[in-house]
Structure 1
Amino acid sequence: MTTSTAADVLLHKGSGLQVVVGLGQSGLSVAHYLANQGYQVAVTDAQAAPKLANQLPPEISIRQFGSIDAELLQQAARIIISPGISLDTDAVAAARQANIPVVSDIQLFCEACTVPIVAITGSNAKSTVTTLVGQMAADAGVNVGVGGNIGVPALTLLANDDMELAVLELSSFQLETVTNLGAQVATVLNMSPDHLDRHGDMLGYHQAKHRIFQGAKSVVINREDALTRPLVADNLPRVSTSIQAPDKGQYGLIIDSEGQTYLARGTERLLSADKLLIKGRHNLLNAQAALALGELAGLPLDSMLQTLQQFSGLDHRCQYVAKVTNIDYFNDSKGTNIGSTIAAIQGLGEVYAPKDGKLLLILGGQGKGQQFGELTSFINQYVSHVLMIGEDAKMIEQHLRSAKLSEDVALYQCQTMENAFATVPQVTKSSLSQVQAVLLSPACASFDQYSGYAARGEHFIQLVNQLSMANQVV
């Protein structure tokens, strides 16, 4: 679709034309923001009829749909690219070659934002930590805006004139076009292979993530993961987290003589782990990260600890669903990469291992170029059955077997979630079964079979509920 002619477009050359590439939620927010600022704005999208086109401001008449318009991009004073569109797209790459600035909505936000920013990225747990820090701020009486990759476009937060603090979840796609974010506190929570199909290799992925530290006034690092440490500015104030005992002034875990685990800062025991509603070692790290970020943002510790005890986690992130025939079911559909699934396996595995329990893992979808053999040691330790679904299921099985999967772990090719649920009763009904929990943590994208991870998770919950009802009838 085109609502202006090429001649019309050429009239705007050299007039400071702002071209928005991609008309998703973030692109729509950019279009509204720039139009309200008085800029001349054009929009282009590869879809012939973008769903949000009818929500564009009426004064935006230049709408080039059906392909990303290379000619239009060459006329831009600045291009604002949506995170879902690769910088290697031909039209975008050509514009960059012509030295036309390409930025994201996050760049516009940080240039306009006048309040401190808490900036959060990582391969996993971004949404959990972002939500938790936002809730800590709100509970402490701070007028806080929470947005970014979490689903609320960052630019919409600027409509709140009374905002005192901005908490942003940022993806590698958003960060690769951000310069000098200037956050009050920034963190890379963890690093594991993800989006290598977009970034090319771990170096490219690492470089994108670490742009979050540009201009930061303080940082939080994970002592378990050297890749979370900024490579420069060692003189910045920093606080660290770990599953080990903490050093002075740092966060970590203290285990007492009776085996009880505590969140701690230095030698001070802050909170017993059994007071948390969120479970697993990975969530103990998430809790520490939120406390450290909040500390560097000036939030009061007592209030943060109160919030932490009331926080039940997010949907589709190691979410407890139900117990059916003495087996617990957990929905971790948001586990779309290997690192996230390792965290879920290890976190829940350690809960059931003392009871001689094992996990049944549902794995698979679109693999995104990952090496699934990295899961093997964790599966060997905590999992007795793996049910594989989705487009790359057979490839995943090959990776696991090549990485010396234990003979004690049974693999099943199920293709679909329904087939997986038909298989669960077959493999758990034996009196010898050690399965005490079923975990959906696919380590893969969902788009081969679902509209997104949320739809996949809702389907899992639906099938658990059906299984529960069937067993009640029996």
Structure 2
Amino acid sequence: MEGKKRLVVLGGGESGVGTAILAKQKGYEVFVSDKGPIKPKYKRVLLNHEIDWEDETHTEEKILNASVVMKSPGIPDKVVLVQKIRAMHIPIVSEIEFAAQYANATIVGITGSNGKTTTTMLTYHLLKDGGLHVGMAGNIGDSFAQMVAEQNYEDYVLEISSFQLDDIETFKPHIAVITNITPDHLDRYNYQFEKYIEAKFRITKNQTQEDFLIYDADDEVITEWLEKNKVKAKLLPFSITKKVEEGAYLEDNTIITNIDNSIFTMSTDTLKLEGKHNVKNAMAASTVAQLLKIRKQTIRESFETFQGVEHRLEKVLKIQNVQYINDSKATNVNSTFYALDSVSTQMVWIVGGVDKGNDYTSLLPLVREKIKAIICLGIDNSKIIDVFGAVTDELVEAGSMIEAVREAYRMAEPGDTVMLSPACASFDLFENYEDRGRQFKEAVRKL
């Protein structure tokens, strides 16, 4: 790849601009092209680095002469321009792939349908507290490529989505984590769950016997795939239902991790995070920390100071003894299942958005047991109404977050919980899930 000097970046967001900066530093001629508008903050960065760019158009003659193309993860393969690039046999890489070749560092790569952000932030917290010179990037926060260009960390913890894994060829994390695999983004994978599973397992495809794959041994999708496919990396499972020889398991509310006959134990009471899924996230993170030789006492102390992730089961306020929880990051059914399962009170549930091929039926037992009212917050709520209309006392539609929160305030009684856990993407009414979560918190504070 060293001799290929013209890099075209499709998409002028965080990953695209970061890749452009790194490529320029490495001697590439760089051109950034975005079919939509590039945000002013990114335009300023491109101008400061004297990088050529365009937005609200794709000029094909400036793109199809590339030696290599970096495609932002949000752009699907079915886009005509992407198909033209592939037809001309121009290599398409992801930001993760491009940046990793220049990062002389230990990489921890974390993927999964749910829990990957919490696990990434928790792992980073443990490693940083343990004294490692570590950066956190990928699908979270800053661009990995820009970090490689400007920070030169010795270790990286990367949150990696299936979209980012789609365009890797040589990328190899030393430690890979798969938190779980449940149906998500099926609209991107022709509604074939198998293709989505394959995308997730690309995280381990280039690993060797010197590397590690940490995974949820309670997840049937993962364990079935591993039974049928050979993985070179050393397998380190974690489980809350059974004892494992090497890896992590739960016994009498104690997390026990065994790596190379080094035993680490920690009470689940140490965790500030609630719910079974967070016990699993803690198991994955502590396994990484042990592999990277963080002191056991440091790991325990770090768990006590970890505050959790914004927009993930985030307690906002208690008003008239009603707890308001922001779980805007729940963009799929499985994530919402965890959220509803973690609360013991009766709930008013705010749900809806852009459906990604969701099957809501797994939520029916929880809805029957815990949900007293549903507020649909999306442009098209017909599927949610069809599934839940007959099993809840009250179901209404809201056209804005302010309206949804006011309805919830009207419906909730002392002792209840109001939960925003949409199970859907946010792009119909909001910029992204962060915008949706912030609007929820703002509306709650104005009550």
Asked whether the two chains share a fold, i.e. TM above 0.5, the reply is yes
Give the distance between the partners of 2:69 and 2:232, measured in 1 at CA: 35
Give the distance between the partners of 1:359 and 1:463, measured in 2 at CA: 18
* Partner of residue 314 from structure 2, selected from 319, 326, 340: 319
* Partner of residue 225 from structure 1, selected from 208, 215, 219: 219
CA 1:302/1:179 → structure 2, altered by over 3 Å: closer, same or farther?
farther
Structure 2 residues not aligned, in runs of 5+ = none
* Partner of residue 416 from structure 1, selected from 396, 400, 405: 400
1:335 positional shift: 0.9
Contact 2:20–2:51, Cα closer than 8 Å, also in 1: no
CA 1:56/1:420 → structure 2, altered by over 3 Å: closer, same or farther?
closer
Contact 2:113–2:180, Cα closer than 8 Å, also in 1: yes
Q: Which moved more, 1:62-71 or 1:73-82?
A: 62-71
Rg bigger for which structure?
Answer: 1
What is aligned with 2:249? 252
* Partner of residue 370 from structure 1, selected from 354, 358, 362: 358
Contact 1:130–1:168, Cα closer than 8 Å, also in 2: yes
Give the distance between the partners of 1:134 and 1:65, measured in 2 at CA: 35
Give the distance between the partners of 1:47 and 1:160, measured in 2 at CA: 27
* CA offsets 1:63-105 (integer angstroms, 9 cap, x no match): 3443223333321111111112122211111111221100011
Residue 206 (structure 1) aligned with residue 181 (structure 2): no
Contact 1:73–1:92, Cα closer than 8 Å, also in 2: no
Give the distance between the partners of 1:40 and 1:203, measured in 2 at CA: 38
* Partner of residue 163 from structure 1, selected from 153, 157, 174: 153
Residue 178 (structure 1) aligned with residue 168 (structure 2): yes
Give the distance between the partners of 1:208 and 1:234, measured in 2 at CA: 15
Give the distance between the partners of 1:110 and 1:148, measured in 2 at CA: 11
Contact 2:328–2:433, Cα closer than 8 Å, also in 1: yes
Residue 381 (structure 1) aligned with residue 365 (structure 2): no
CA 1:428/1:301 → structure 2, altered by over 3 Å: closer, same or farther?
same
1:62 positional shift: 4.8
* Partner of residue 256 from structure 2, selected from 240, 264, 273: 264
Give the distance between the partners of 1:39 and 1:425, measured in 2 at CA: 56
What is aligned with 2:82? 92
What is aligned with 2:233? 236
Contact 1:187–1:219, Cα closer than 8 Å, also in 2: yes
Residue 130 (structure 1) aligned with residue 120 (structure 2): yes
What is aligned with 1:398? 386
Which stretches of structure 1, 4 residues or more, deviate above 6 A after TM superposition? 266-269
Residue 286 (structure 1) aligned with residue 281 (structure 2): yes
Contact 1:119–1:187, Cα closer than 8 Å, also in 2: yes
What is aligned with 1:34? 23
Superposed CA RMSD: 2.4
CA 1:358/1:165 → structure 2, altered by over 3 Å: closer, same or farther?
same
CA 1:301/1:226 → structure 2, altered by over 3 Å: closer, same or farther?
farther
* Partner of residue 338 from structure 2, selected from 327, 340, 343: 343
* CA offsets 1:108-165 (integer angstroms, 9 cap, x no match): 1221121111000111121111111111111111110111110210012224666221
Contact 2:25–2:149, Cα closer than 8 Å, also in 1: no
Give the distance between the partners of 1:182 and 1:238, measured in 2 at CA: 15
CA 1:301/1:179 → structure 2, altered by over 3 Å: closer, same or farther?
farther
User: Secondary structure in 1 aligned to 2:445?
Assistant: helix
Q: Which moved more, 1:59-68 or 1:117-126?
A: 59-68
* Partner of residue 444 from structure 1, selected from 401, 424, 434: 424
Give the distance between the partners of 2:56 and 2:444, measured in 1 at CA: 41
Give the distance between the partners of 2:28 and 2:379, measured in 1 at CA: 44
CA 1:162/1:446 → structure 2, altered by over 3 Å: closer, same or farther?
closer
CA 1:59/1:110 → structure 2, altered by over 3 Å: closer, same or farther?
closer
Give the distance between the partners of 2:190 and 2:288, measured in 1 at CA: 30
- The percent of aligned pairs where both chains have the same amino acid is 30
Superposition pairs of residues 95-106 of structure 1, within 5 angstroms:
95-106=85-96
Give the distance between the partners of 2:110 and 2:329, measured in 1 at CA: 17
Superposition pairs of residues 418-437 of structure 1, within 5 angstroms:
418-429=402-413, 436-437=416-417
Q: Which moved more, 1:140-149 or 1:301-310?
A: 301-310
CA 1:461/1:96 → structure 2, altered by over 3 Å: closer, same or farther?
same
Contact 1:365–1:444, Cα closer than 8 Å, also in 2: yes
1:456 positional shift: 1.5
What is aligned with 1:70? 60
CA 1:438/1:106 → structure 2, altered by over 3 Å: closer, same or farther?
same
* CA offsets 1:388-408 (integer angstroms, 9 cap, x no match): 11113232111335xxx63x5
User: Secondary structure in 2 aligned to 1:26?
Assistant: helix
Contact 2:270–2:300, Cα closer than 8 Å, also in 1: no
Contact 2:317–2:324, Cα closer than 8 Å, also in 1: yes
Give the distance between the partners of 2:393 and 2:128, measured in 1 at CA: 46
User: Secondary structure in 1 aligned to 2:446?
Assistant: helix
1:373 positional shift: 2.7
1:196 positional shift: 1.8
Q: Give 1:239's aligned amino acid.
A: L
Q: Which moved more, 1:101-110 or 1:409-418?
A: 409-418
CA 1:250/1:55 → structure 2, altered by over 3 Å: closer, same or farther?
closer
